[in-house]
């Protein structure tokens, strides 16, 4: 299902239809050099103007994410309008479409789906290098207790999956709550089949929401995606 494409900066890395939408990955160049004009020319003029306000890796990542988004929207037949960050930093699409973006140093990914009244989130995290301190920062006490009972060599990977899913939850849920959502406000229970159970601990009167979450592996990198809708919606 996941077949990596050959490397060329800002070229598609993969394209895959996943349960919550279409996902495209775009290769990013290794350095923070300004993005060349022929690449910028592939963006909507307003996105290009915005990209020119950014510097270093931030510009590279923004451009990669927008190229991935543009690729997907073209496939879904959407007229190519500028997709700028809203005041919260989220990509804002025309009604009827939802999207989410994530990037790491050499890859940008975008998830796009049709839908209204629904939020989607995508996130990628690397698991090849153990990052001490992440578990204590992002896990609830009961998650930490579970992770600490796993064999040592599985503890970091399990933590990274939960971390990624939580960031995807943030991106999918933020449009409904419009506030900072702490890592302790959700517990994530990964399943071996890639389905993840989300247990929310939001504030009283927030929700209820229906969460769907999945993760897949791109080599040693985890890609998570989350779909959120109010529990009363059909």
Q: Contact positions toward ligand COA, by CB under 6 A?
A: 61-62, 65, 85, 88-91, 100-103, 123, 166-167, 169-171, 174, 181, 183, 185-186
- Considering the complex, state which of residue 84 and residue 150 has its C-beta at the smaller distance from ligand COA: 84
Residue closer to ligand COA by CB (options 133, 234) is 133
- β-strand 97-104 against 107-114: which pairing, if any? antiparallel
Calpha distance 142→169 (Å, rounded):
18
**Closest approach of ligand COA to the CB of residue 194, in Å:** 19
Quote the radius of gyration of the chain (alpha carbons, Å): 18
Smallest separation (angstroms) from ligand COA to the CB of 6: 23
Residue nearest to ligand COA (CB): 89
Least Å distance, CB 24 to ligand COA, is 14
d(CA 223, CA 234): 27
User: What CA dihedral angle connects 207, 173, 89 and 139, to 10 degrees?
Assistant: 110
Q: Name the residue nearer to ligand COA (CB basis): 123 or 212.
A: 123
* 3/39 with CB nearer ligand COA: 39
Q: HSE-up of 119 (CA within 13 Å, CB side)?
A: 21
Question: Cβ closer to ligand COA: 153 or 180?
Answer: 180
CB of 12 to ligand COA, least distance (A): 17
CA distance 172 to 102: 12
The conformational region for residue 105 under phi > 0 = left, psi -120 to 50 = alpha, else beta, is alpha
- Least CB distance from residue 111 to ligand COA, whole Å? 10
CB of 65 to ligand COA, least distance (A): 4
Range list of β-strands (E), the chain:
12-18, 21-27, 97-104, 107-114, 119-126, 186-190, 195-200, 209-218, 221-230
Whole-angstrom distance, CA of residue 178 vs CA of residue 118: 14
Q: Which is closer to ligand COA, CB of 86 or CB of 195?
A: 86
């Amino acid at each position: 299902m996941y077949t990596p494409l050959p490397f060329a900066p800002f070229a598609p890395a993969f394209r895959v239809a996943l349960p919550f939408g279409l996902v495209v990955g775009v290769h990013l160049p290794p350095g923070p050099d300004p993005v060349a004009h022929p690449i910028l020319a592939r963006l909507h003029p307003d996105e290009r103007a915005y990209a020119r306000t950014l510097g270093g890796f931030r510009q590279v990542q923004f451009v990669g994410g927008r190229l991935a988004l543009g690729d997907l929207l073209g496939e879904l037949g959407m007229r190519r309008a500028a997709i700028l960050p809203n005041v919260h930093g989220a990509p804002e699409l025309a009604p009827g479409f939802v999207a989410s973006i994530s990037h790491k140093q050499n890859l940008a990914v975008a998830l796009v789906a049709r839908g209204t009244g629904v939020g989607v989130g995508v996130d990628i995290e690397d698991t090849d290098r153990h990052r001490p301190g992440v578990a204590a920062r992002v896990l609830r006490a009961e998650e930490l207790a579970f992770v600490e009972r796993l064999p040592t060599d599985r503890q970091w990977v399990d933590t990274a999956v939960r971390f990624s899913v939580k960031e995807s939850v943030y991106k999918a849920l933020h449009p409904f709550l419009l506030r900072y959502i702490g890592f302790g406000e959700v517990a994530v229970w990964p399943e071996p089949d890639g389905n993840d159970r989300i247990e929310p601990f939001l504030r009283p009167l927030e929700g209820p929401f229906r969460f769907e979450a999945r993760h897949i592996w791109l080599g040693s990198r985890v890609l998570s995606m989350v779909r959120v809708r109010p529990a009363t919606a059909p």
